[in-house]
Amino acid sequence: MRSVSIMKNINNKLLKKFKQSFNKNQTNHVIANAIAKNGIKNASFNNDILKIHNNVFSHEIQQPSITNQQSSGRCWIFASLNMARLEAMKNLNIEDLELSQSYLYFYDKLEKVNNFLENVIQNGLNLDFNDPLFKYLMDSPADDGGFWEWFLGLINKYGIVPKYLMDDTFDAKSSREFIEILNTKAKECASKIIKASKNNASEQQLRKLKIIALNDIYNIASKTLGIPPEKFDFQYRDKDKKIQKIKNITPLEFYKKYIGDNVLNNKVNLVSDPRKIHPYGKVLSSKYFNSVYESPNNLQLNVPMKELIEATKKSILDGVSVPFACDVSKFHDRKSGIMDLNVYDYNNTLVYLNLNREQRLNLHQSLPTHLMNIVGVDIDSNGNIIKWKVENSWGEDIAFKGIFSMSNDWFKEYNYQCVVDKKYVQSKYLKGLEQEHIILDYTDPLAYLH
């Protein structure tokens, strides 16, 4: 039988063939020069896309001041509070309000380290240091990222305060060094717990070590972010130009009275996962990492994309903004604030990219990386959605004074989760909330922190 030669390595003959193919098309050299001078994105920018993204939307929600998370990974806190503050503004009868992201950030760090150390005690004591699960548990004990459910657990437990009562400090705005110190201290305690366990320490003794570490974390966070207020007075001017003052109120009382725990707790986190292994109408859940230990962890009700879009549209038309988690790194132009599959003409400058949504998830090529807030929609005369108005938390100096424009086609490909009131979701899907959850593997792109 004739042997078949299968090339496993790259050789000079193959490289010569590639080069000849490249040189045959003179346009390649023009494109190469444009990219060398301007970069891939600038050289590929599709200027015609500006005609669609004109910052005009047929339906818009009241727009308070734009917030800025600076150089931190607190987008999930910002997006969730940006939605919640609209309810507070309505109940307080005021034009604008910003709630303290640092207040929740403080408690999030404390809760995350507690959850991390509980994971060590409950799941990590008998694992080899090179075990993939142990490596995962050790990855980021006090990272900035998070999910809607983590926000809900924090605000339900600790309440909230206006921003001026606990404003951002230097390390809240630029959190890398802060996180590094917290991670080091958390792992130091993990090492002590593992060593004590091998010396036959009781579970009670292990948790005493945990309490000592949490005291250190509280100390670090207090020096870095400030000590959260336990009670406060809030003076403000309402829409009628009258001075109002709320006296001696706790953060939890302020949250329940002016936002309403019933308002936030009646929402559901929808996800659209097209992978066949995850049926629609089922809740996809994560394990191991959480913020508030005793609160539910990342519960995502899986629905078809059509339902995700329809529920989001109903919410916007009803005047309720929608926090959403997306892969902001894909086909997104930061300067113009445009999120559109055609914003970069890679097909003509580089190569055709042809992975669908399911393939991208299976191959870990796309996953939720950023939370923002949908505050408007543009619907044409035939009822078709053209684009969505997006409130980001990157300040006013980019996009259209901090507002982004997302095409509906981009929504279908790179938007993953939307947080909406349950009344906007069909009952046949809501039944899944009462059924057994599907526990995602800790390596799943929809399961872990990004």
> Choosing from 53, 278, 370, 437, which is the catalytic residue?
370
Residue count (the chain): 450
Query: Per the residue annotation, which of 75, 189, 326, 418 is the catalytic one?
Result: 75
Q: Which of 290, 297, 302, 392 is catalytic?
A: 392
Q: How far apart are CA 439 and CA 296, in angstroms?
A: 13
User: Which residue type is seen at 16?
Assistant: K
Verify whether residue 75 is a known catalytic residue. yes
Q: What is the C-alpha separation between 44 and 347, in angstroms, rounded?
A: 9
Tokens coding 406: 């997302």
- What is 276-322 written as a DSSP string? TTS-TT-EEE--S--SSTTS----EEE--HHHHHHHHHHHHHTT--E
- CA–CA separation, 325 and 76 (whole Å): 8
Looking from the CA of 35 toward its CB, the CA atoms found within 13 Å total 15
Cβ neighbours of residue 341 under 8 Å, at least 6 residues apart? 331, 407, 409, 410, 413
Contact predicate 259/87, CB 8 Å = yes
Closest to 329 in 3D by CA, of 271, 371, 373, 370: 370
Query: How open is the CA angle 32-36-41, to the nearest 5 degrees?
Result: 90
> What are the structure tokens assigned to 331, written together?
């086909």
Q: Note if 392 is an active site residue.
A: yes
Residues 6+ apart with CB under 8 A from 73: 143, 144, 145, 175
Count the alpha carbons within 13 Å of 252 in the hemisphere toward its beta carbon: 6
269 catalytic, yes or no? no
DSSP, collapsed to helix, strand or coil, labels residue 100 as: coil
Count CA atoms within 13 Å of residue 269 on its CB side: 24
Task: Label residue 281 left, alpha or beta by phi (over 0 means left) and psi (-120 to 50 means alpha).
Answer: left
Q: Cα separation of 54 and 205, whole Å?
A: 62
DSSP state letter for 164 = G
Tokens linked to 297: 């962890």
Amino acid making up residue 287: K
**Quick one: DSSP state of residue 57?**
-
Contact of 405 with 112, CB cutoff 8 Å = no
- Catalytic center residues: 75, 370, 392
